[in-house]
Structure 1
Amino acid sequence: MAAARARASRKHPVAKPSPTPVLESRTAHIPVGPRLEAVLELAYRARRPVLLEGPTGIGKSDIVKKLADRLGIAHVVLDLSLLEPPDLVGLPVIQDGRTRYAVPDILPQDGAGILMLEELNRAERYIQQPALQLLSARRLHGYELPPGWACFAAVNPESEGYHVTPLDKALRARFLSLPVRADRPSWLAWAQVNDVHPGVIAIAQAHERVLDDVPPRTWTYVSHLLKTLRPEEIENVGLLRDALSGYLPTSWLELVVSSRGVWSSRLPFDVRALLADYDRRADLSRAVRGFAEAGQTDRLDEITTRLVRLLEGPEAGVLAGERQITLASFEALLADLPGDQRDKLVEALGRNPTATSLIDVRPEELCERYANSPAQRKLQGWAADPLKQHRVGLSVTALSSHLERQTKLAEVKRSNVVRASLGVLLAELPERWALDLVATCKRLGITPIRPG
């Protein structure tokens, strides 16, 4: 009998239940910068409630305010940890024998805007409940959020030691829940145009992990302290250590103290203005030309050193997107600098892959039928102009990134169209940019076809 059952089971195998699909947990964190701002704008247009979840001090509230300012809408912030239920629900009043609730002044009545609820999961349950009702249903008793408004909230992670009141999972499911993290390029770009102390900026540019254990807000506080130092206090190491120890762990504190020799600037202007306004501000051009005419190479060196650090850094792309770096300003500055200073700036900008949005030539135009194309005419003109070499560099940098991202590299290697276009391009490029492209092709195994 056992043998018969075994034969039967071989003929008619028992079907195994298909495995239960495992849902992938959402662990990706969106950096607090342009990517997050784009998602928040979409949520605002859809009038969907948003939960921004991330550590304190990384800029969650600032990015919402920036979005509201850009859209030209109102921005109202409520710190729930400071509110009592009547502040949201309103006080009960008797009208016509019925209890109604007077609408609090803090809630918007008309127009368009974003209502930002801070400290949602650090508030008490008795304030969380009406806040969640307002967030998810857009109404609270007799009050209804005006059609032009969206409601966002910020929370701290429940798993990172914060004293929080966990949110109900069923309620969480009603929100666009966005885990977020600090973003070094975006914060650096913000710091460059918001008068953050150059000592803090220099450290952030030099150390990729600068925001891992010290949030952006804390670095801003450090900047406030450094900016109030008198010249003689900069050399008082004991004072610096005592003051900064209230904000920074020892490793970062010592970095700040050891770099104090480069804090002070002998320049009468902020070098960052050179990249945004040099072509429109006569005072800047007069100052730079004056340094060159007087042979003050130390000041020109300081300008170049500070600008190179910015132009080769990750914040350059963000600044370019916000028009805090323009080609018109950059090229006007190059015209007033000696050749060696000019070359340093050209190299820094031309090889920065985050800044390629500054040019209007797409990588596809350079590797698909490049010969006799509008793109070829542009590059030929840039290559012939000493003040536009960085545009050639940015084009090559963008092309190299494009080739390295190819998912069908084998097809690219076989494509005579691509190989011939690259051959024509290489023959026309200035040597330093040609060498960059040759290195990329060699690394990827692409053999350009030289024109013949």
Structure 2
Amino acid sequence: MQQRSRARDPKLAPVADASGPSALPLGPRVASILEVAYRARRPVLLEGPTGIGKSELVAQVARSLGIAHRVLDLSLLEPPDLVGLPVIEEGITRYALPRFLPREGAGILMLEELNRAERYIQQPALQLLTARALHEYVLPEGWACFAAINPETGDYHVTPLDQALRARFLHVPVRADRASWLAWADANGVHPAVMAVARAHERVFVDVPPRSWTYASDVLKTMRPHELADVALVRDVLAGYLPPVWVDALLSSGSLSARAIELDVHTMLREYAPKSVHAETLRGWKERGETDRLDELAARLKAVLGGPEAGVLAANKTLTLGALEALLADLPGDQRESVQDALGGNPTACVLLDVRPEDVLTNYQASPARARVEEWKASPAKHHRIALLVTAVRAKVLAPEIGAELRRSNAQRLSLGHFLLQVGERWGLPLAEALQKIGVTPIRPT
């Protein structure tokens, strides 16, 4: 049963992470670890709170590797369900193996609720995980075993695992990650009101796990317009998943009656091209003067590109500059510039660039980066690249050790002077303000 915490302002809620300060955000970084573990055929212990998406990430990794994925909930099993029923053949006891144990091929066998299972289930499960065998059964070479557990805290009724056993696993403590969930949620049609709240509140998963937000979205999407207009009914429905403070946040989001946009924004960001179906639709809107649709598309793009999920989409290669810039070139000027402003100020999206802050700080006046920036200035559909580079350099110089170095280095301050002169006040103002804040004066080129 979902635990309820006391109601409080979500903006002021303290950060509380049951999986500890060393937990990794559940997203691309953890997915890369799981891929390595699968190649090494090492058992993994994913440890984190319930409902944050551990199992979903494992399924995603299996899909990306093109292998099978099977899930076994250990909390529902009795010993014969896992080890098989004994069968006597020619006076020898053998075990009739369960059908779910793989016999061939490649895949990941995911064991759920390992530390919520009884000891008599834990023992054979641990043998399967660590020894890759159960009696005569041997896990096929192409398969790996992963397990998910909840933290051993007062929040969960668990059977602790022996430390000697833990040492046999690749142990990965994880926590819910808002950026990764937003990227997933936006691509999977989560209700606009839930998306609005998750984007607005950094601590959206402190009280409520991602799974409960997804459930709330599911029920909102099935409600009819007259039901959504009934505030009392909406409160009663959402109260089954969310504390009152978050129900209030959803009601005040202004998005309860919003419906999904006609175009798939994530597909556009990944593969938009001048002759694509999306391009034809967009051109039709422009020709017919459907500015409301264009404004809606721009608003949706700004929400995605200006938010934390942009970095996750870039890391997953589901946001590419080629597709984005083809799309920007087709947007009317006002909408294009508003989208570029949202993206350009987003530090999580700086990974899209192939020019690094170090290229600006080191002999910029003679570096290839200077020519790249000049090229970007000449193309309106690439102006966001300039803003992104300024954002990246700004983040770099605000690091304490870098600021001290800049104050001592005339060469670096001259490089910054050349860069600021080139980009001008339109893009360079945030960087100039950051340099003033840390007491660094760029040297203006003569």
- TM-score for both structures, normalised by structure 1: 0.88
Question: How far apart, CA to CA, are the structure 2 residues paired with 1:281 and 1:246?
Answer: 46
1:34 alignment partner in structure 2: 28
Task: State the partner residue of 2:422.
Answer: 428
Task: Give the paired residue count.
Answer: 428
CA contact (8 A) 1:74 1:112 kept: yes
Q: Distance in 2 between matches of 1:280 and 1:212?
A: 43
Q: 1:319 to 1:250 in 2, by over 3 A?
A: same
- Checking the alignment, whether the CA contact within 8 Å between 2:363 and 2:415 is kept in structure 1 is yes
- Asked if the contact 2:71–2:109 (Cα under 8 Å) also holds between the matched residues in 1, the reply is yes
Deviation at 1:281, TM superposition (A): 5.9
Instruction: Provide the rounded CA distance (Å) in 2 between the counterparts of 1:261 and 1:104.
Output: 48
2:436 corresponds to which of 425, 439, 442: 442
> Which residue does the alignment assign to 1:124?
118
Task: Determine the structure 2 residue equivalent to 1:18.
Answer: none
Q: Mind listing any 5+ residue stretches in structure 2 that lack a counterpart?
A: 1-18
What is the match of residue 365 of structure 1? 359
Q: Compute the displacement of 1:447 (Å).
A: 2.4
Q: In the alignment, is residue 392 of structure 1 matched against residue 381 of structure 2? A: no
Would you say the 8 A contact 2:420–2:428 is kept in 1? Answer: yes
Please name the residue that 1:232 is paired with: 226
Q: Which residue of 1 aligns with 2:164?
A: 170
CA distance in 2, matches of 1:324, 1:335: 19
Tell me what 1:98 maps to.
92
Shift, 1:400, TM fit: 1.8
Match of 2:296 among 293, 299, 302: 302
Residue of structure 2 in register with 1:149 after alignment: 143
Q: Counterparts of 2:159 and 2:191 in 1: how far apart (Å)? A: 37
State how far apart, in whole Å, the 2-side matches of 1:271 and 1:44 are: 32
1:47-105 Cα offsets, whole Å, 9 max, x none, are: 22221111111001011111111112221211111222122212222344332323332
Superposed CA offset, 1:160-196 (max 9, x none):
4322222223322322222211100000000111111
| Matching residue's letter, 2:210 | P
Q: 8 Å contact 1:349–1:394 — kept in the other structure?
A: yes
Q: Which structure carries more relative contact order (alpha carbon 8 Å, separation 6+)?
A: 2
Q: Matches of 1:26 and 1:170 in 2, distance apart?
A: 21
Contact in 2 for aligned 1:274/1:329 (Cα 8 Å): yes
1:346–1:260 CA distance, 2 compared to 1 (3 A): closer
Task: Decide whether the 8 Å contact of 1:91 with 1:101 is kept in 2.
Answer: yes
Runs of 4+ residues deviating >4 angstroms: none
Matched residue, 1:139: 133
Aligned equivalent of 1:327: 321
Q: Which structure would you say has the larger Rg?
A: 1
Equivalent residue in structure 2 for 1:350, among 344, 347, 364: 344
Q: 1:268 to 1:41 in 2, by over 3 A?
A: closer
Q: Structure 2 vs 1, CA of residues 241 and 385 (structure 1 numbering), >3 Å: closer, same or farther?
A: same
Q: Which residue of 2 aligns with 1:214?
A: 208
**Aligned residue number for residue 16 of structure 2:** none
TM superposition shift of 1:221: 0.9
CA contact (8 A) 2:414 2:444 kept: yes
Q: Aligned partners of 1:193 and 1:201: how far apart in 2?
A: 11
Does 2:283 correspond to 1:289?
yes
Q: Is the Cα contact below 8 Å between 2:192 and 2:259 reproduced in 1?
A: no
Q: Which one of 176, 183, 188 corresponds to residue 189 of structure 1?
A: 183
For structure 1, which segment, 121-130 or 405-414, has the greater mean C-alpha deviation from structure 2 after superposition? Answer: 405-414
AA matched with 2:206: D
Please tell me whether the aligned partners of residues 53 and 179 of structure 1 are also in contact (alpha carbons under 8 angstroms).
Answer: yes
The residue matched to 2:109 in structure 1 has which SS?
A: strand
Partner residue, 1:336: 330
Deviation at 1:280, TM superposition (A): 5.4
Q: Deviations 1:195-222 (Å, cap 9, x if unpaired)? A: 1111111110011111111111111111
Residue 134 of structure 1: how far off its partner (Å): 1.4
